[in-house]
């Protein structure tokens, strides 16, 4: 279950990155999947 939650967090992060690139007028395809370790460090 933890692995699935980590993957879901990665996809949400990728979606947020794509939206940020699009909002900044840049190519959303520049967004990259980040490791689950990196994303865990971003959580509040």
Q: How confident is the model at residue 42 (pLDDT cuts 50, 70, 90)?
A: confident
Q: Residue 21 pLDDT more than 80?
A: yes
pTM to 2 decimal places: 0.84
More confident residue, 26 or 2: 26
Name the token pair of 33. 């999947």
Q: What is the pLDDT of residue 23?
A: 98
Read off the tokens for 31: 């967004």
- 25's torsion region: left (phi>0), alpha (psi -120 to 50) or beta? left
C-alpha 2/C-alpha 18 separation (Å) is 24
**What is the average pLDDT score of the chain?**
93
Domain ranges of the chain: 2-42
């Amino acid at each position: 279950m933890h692995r699935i939650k980590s993957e879901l967090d990665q996809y949400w992060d990728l979606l947020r990155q794509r939206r940020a690139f699009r909002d900044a007028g840049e190519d959303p395809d520049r967004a990259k999947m980040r490791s689950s370790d990196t994303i865990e460090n971003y959580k509040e």
